[in-house]
Structure 1
């Protein structure tokens, strides 16, 4: 039952591919607050994020244009 409560988390690259945009665009949306994401501990050159699949689904189902 606990596994049912877990939600799929997507990387910035996975979200970018699904939306057909560049990784940088997804990162910009996260930093501006347009896309909710989970911030992971910083390692390396770039901040790592994970986006809930439900958040992406909401974005895709909304009638608001994404800029």
Structure 2
């Protein structure tokens, strides 16, 4: 378990990936991007975003 993971908001992920809100929620819905819910707020651990990017890079290189 990661004790001090940076948590990103959906708008922060949108800005980092330069994609729409719908695209971020599609990644979450299809379990390509891990997230947690705190109350009504959705948060994405920064390491989950890094994992998504690295996985996509590996897929593109193959």
TM-score interval for Structure 1 and Structure 2 normalised by the shorter chain: 0.7 to 0.9
- 1:9 and 1:51 mapped to 2: Cα distance? 5
Cα RMSD, aligned residues only: 1.5
Equivalent in 55, 59, 62 of residue 48 of structure 2: 55
TM-score, normalised relative to structure 2: 0.75
CA distance in 2, matches of 1:41, 1:31: 18
Partner SS state of residue 26, structure 1? helix
Deviations 1:13-59 (A, max 9, x none): 101111110011101111121211002223xxxxx310100111111
Give the match for residue 22 of structure 1: 20
Cα separation, 2, equivalents of 1:15 and 1:64:
21
Structure 2 gaps of 5+ residues are none
Matches within 5 A, 1:9-48: 9-42=7-40, 48=41
Structure with greater strand percent: 2
